[in-house]
Structures are given as C-alpha cells and as structure tokens.
C-alpha cells in the first residue's frame, strides 16, 4: 500500500523509477526484508538509469583523455601544446603539405596586383601518422594536442572552482541556517551582494583586474597566468548559487526534532551542524556539485573566450574558440572541436546530475538558477 502510494507520488519525478523500499526490494529478490541504507537504494536507482550512467562514462572518458594529453602529445603527435610549426611540412597520405602555406602578394601577367591567401592545414585524420589529427591553428600548433591540454585546464578550473565554491557555500549555509538571526542576516546579505551583479560581468571584471598583475594580498601570492585566478574568480561569483538553496534546506532542518534533541543532549553547535544536519543535505550537496561543475566549465570557457580566464598561450576550450573564431570560414575545425568538447562535457554532466538527483531523492527540487 505504502509502496503504491509512493509510486503514485513518484509519478511526478523526472524518472520512471519508484522509491524502492526494503519491502519492495525483498519482494523482488525473493528474500527476507533487510534494512537498506539510502545510499544503497540510491545506487540501485542510479544503476537502472543507463542514460545517466552512460553520461558518467562519457565524462570519465573525456577526463581520462585529457589526463593522458602529455602521452598523446609526446608519443602520438610528437609535439607540445605551444610549439609553433609555422614553416613545417608534413606528409599527409603520401603528399607533402605546408602546415601554413606561404601566401603573399604577386603581380600577374597583366601587371595587376593579386593576393594569394595563406591556408592552414586542416584535419589529417590519422593520415599523417598521428600529427595534426584535428589540423593546425594560425600559429601552426597541433589542434588535437591543444584540445586535450585545453581540456585539462578547463576541467581543472571547472572542478576546482566547483569544489571551492561548494565547500564555502556549505559552510556559510550551515552557519546561516543553524545560527539564524544576525549571522543569517550577514551571510544572506553577502549572497545578495554577489548575486546583485550579473555573474559573467562580475567574473570578467575580476578576471581582467587580476590578469595583469596577479593576486598578492592576504598572504596569497598568485601569478597573473596562474589557473588559480579563474578558479577563484569563478568559485567566488557562484557561491550564492549553492549557498542560498542550501541555506533554505538547512533552515528547514533546523526546526526538526532531531536537532532539538541533539541540543538538549548538550551537543556542540559544530557537532550538530556537521554530524546531524550536514548528512541530511549531503545528497543535495552532491547533486549541486555535479551540476555546478558543468556550469563552471561553461563559465571558464566564457571567461577565457573574453580574455579574462586562462591566459595565452595556455590552451583552454574557451581560448581555443576565441582564437578559432578569426578563421571560422576557412578553418572551422578550430572552433568546432573545442565547442563540441564543451557541449559533450556539459551535457554529460547535466544528464548525470539529473540522474543522480532522481536517484538520491526523486522528490528533490534541486536546480541551479541562472
């Protein structure tokens, strides 16, 4: 009866998966009823969601490919991400071709001045022994190598900033939700202050300001070209996007009897926050984290595209798109490759994040608002 009722309610969820109970599980397995942890039940639900699992596998594959970038660059492409091969020639399918042709002006037989345009080597698709698989860019650099190294930087910034953002947001939300009153007021105003600025504009302003001289305050010594700059900038501007919804959940949990019981037992505030309240929002935090990684990868691409993120010549998917747009009509692979990489990564993370949310709590209303 209870299972059917919850199945009816679960019909509102994004997936067709029911809220498994121990009884339903026992019936399915033709065994005795055993207690199952919420995490186990969540894993079972997730296991059945082959789309979410497929997305996770895709994301892991992208991460692994990017992680092995140095091996690819060294053993396959035989180059480095910033090596210029402007006047080099490569043998593509037996034919010797310029990485970047000479071009120039010349006078024809009629005495007229004509321009011979420069062309850039397009994708060789393994016909050049692994060199320039995805073609070359305007400086004669291997696009495939830069794509993988760019992925490393984009993923590092995306995941790193998500970790920092989540950590800070959780702590602030716990403090605000547990202590309430003036603490809550101060922290909420801090969220409002950041939220009042358009995210990308704020990130560009901060990124641009730090791009020239770096950050050398409060005991921190970060050089201008460091990946820490975009990581910190992105994590800072997105704190309210996790902090606010979490604060709401914690405020609600704060009123529950188990919290009052813990207070009555004499537990310290720290213990209550981290041992009682935090486990109850852990599933939300996990889902937020997954979704914010995708969001941050997009933010990093946008910042780098605008010159306020990863600094040249270090590649990132955003900088590759920025440099590629200058040649979009004659060398479209320069923008297509990193663009597709971003699409696949963000899509994989979003689909997995949705699946994870449904698996952990199909009734949860976890969203990253923009």
Binding site for other proteins (CB under 8 A): 11, 13-17, 51, 82-84, 86-87, 97, 100-105, 112-123, 135, 138-140, 212, 224-225, 307, 311-313, 325-333, 335-336, 339-340, 343, 347, 351, 354
Contact status, residue 267 vs residue 298, Cβ threshold 8 Å: no
- Asked whether the beta carbons of 361 and 312 are under 8 A apart, the reply is no
- Using the minimum distance from each CB to other proteins, give the nearer residue, 3 or 84: 84
Beta carbon of residue 312, minimum distance to other proteins (angstroms, whole number):
6
Q: Please report how close the Cβ of residue 351 comes to other proteins at its closest, in angstroms.
A: 6
Least CB distance from residue 319 to other proteins, whole Å? Answer: 11
135, 299 Cβ separation under 8 angstroms: no
Nearer to other proteins, 235 or 290 (CB): 290
Angle at Cα 98 formed by Cα 97 and Cα 104, nearest 5°?
A: 130
Nearer to other proteins, 235 or 314 (CB): 314
Least separation in angstroms between CB 265 and other proteins: 43
Q: How many CA atoms lie within 13 A of 247 on its CB side?
A: 27
Token look-up 């180059």 returns 79
Shortest distance, position 11 Cβ to other proteins, whole Å: 7
- Assess contact for 58 and 344: CB atoms under 8 A: yes
- Nearest Cα residue to 138 out of 356, 323, 365: 323
Identify which of residues 88 and 168 has a Cβ nearer to other proteins in the complex.
Answer: 88
- The nearer residue to other proteins, 283 or 311, going by C-beta atoms, is 311
Nearer to other proteins, 220 or 224 (CB): 224
CB of 2: closest distance to other proteins in angstroms? 20
Q: 183: burial class by Cβ within 10 Å (0-12, 13-18, 19+)?
A: middle
What is the C-alpha to C-alpha distance for residues 273 and 84, in angstroms, rounded to an integer? 54
- Helices (H) and strands (E) in the chain — how many of each? 15, 4
What's the closest the beta carbon of residue 213 comes to other proteins, in angstroms? 10
Measure the CA–CA gap between 188 and 242, rounded to whole angstroms.
12
Buried b (16+ CB within 10 A) or exposed e, 255-274: eeeebeebeeeeeeeeebbe
Q: Which C-beta is closer to other proteins: that of 87 or that of 252?
A: 87
SS3 (DSSP) at 360:
helix
Helix locations, 68-142, DSSP H:
69-71
- Phi, psi (deg, nearest 5) at residue 174: -60, -45
Nearest distance, CB of residue 140 and other proteins, angstroms? 8
- Distance CA(310)–CA(205), nearest Å, equals 14
Nearer to other proteins, 92 or 262 (CB): 92
- Smaller CB distance to other proteins: residue 11 or 248? 11
**DSSP secondary structure of 41-93:** HHHHHHHH-HHHHHHHHHHHHHHHHHHTHHHIIIIII-S-TT---TT-EEEET
């Amino acid at each position: 009866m209870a299972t059917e009722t919850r199945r009816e309610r679960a019909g509102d969820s994004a997936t067709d998966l029911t809220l498994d109970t121990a009884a339903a599980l026992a019936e399915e397995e033709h065994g005795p009823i055993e207690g199952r942890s919420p995490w186990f039940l969540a894993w079972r639900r997730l296991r059945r969601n082959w789309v979410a699992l497929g997305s996770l596998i895709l994301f892991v594959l992208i991460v692994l490919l990017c992680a092995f970038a140095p091996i690819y660059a060294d053993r396959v492409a035989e180059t480095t991400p910033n090596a210029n091969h402007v006047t080099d020639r490569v043998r593509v399918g037996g034919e010797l071709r310029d990485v970047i042709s000479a071009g120039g002006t010349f006078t024809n037989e009629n005495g007229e001045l004509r321009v011979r345009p420069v062309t850039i080597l397009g994708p060789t698709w393994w016909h050049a022994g692994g060199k320039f698989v995805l073609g070359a860019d305007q400086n004669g650099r291997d696009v495939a190598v830069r794509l993988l190294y760019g992925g490393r930087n984009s993923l590092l910034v995306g995941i790193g900033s998500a970790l920092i953002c989540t950590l800070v947001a959780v702590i602030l939300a716990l403090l605000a939700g547990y202590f309430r009153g003036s603490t809550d007021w101060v922290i909420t105003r801090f969220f409002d202050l950041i939220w009042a600025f358009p995210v990308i504009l704020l990130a560009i302003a901060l990124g641009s300001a730090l791009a020239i001289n770096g950050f050398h305050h409060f005991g921190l010594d970060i050089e201008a070209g460091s990946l820490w700059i975009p990581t910190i900038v992105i994590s800072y501007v997105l704190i309210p996007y996790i902090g606010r919804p979490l604060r709401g959940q914690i405020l609600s949990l704060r009123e529950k009897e188990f919290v009052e019981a813990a207070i009555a037992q004499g537990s310290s505030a720290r213990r209550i926050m981290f041992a009682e309240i935090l486990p109850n929002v852990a599933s939300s935090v996990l889902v937020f984290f997954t979704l914010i990684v995708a969001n941050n990868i997009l933010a990093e691409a946008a910042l780098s595209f605008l010159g306020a993120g990863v600094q040249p010549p270090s590649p990132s998917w955003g900088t590759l798109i920025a440099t590629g747009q200058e040649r979009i009509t004659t060398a479209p692979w320069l923008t297509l490759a990193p663009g597709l990489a971003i699409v696949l990564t963000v899509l994989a993370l979003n689909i997995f994040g949705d699946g994870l949310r449904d698996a952990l709590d199909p009734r949860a209303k976890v969203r990253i608002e923009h």
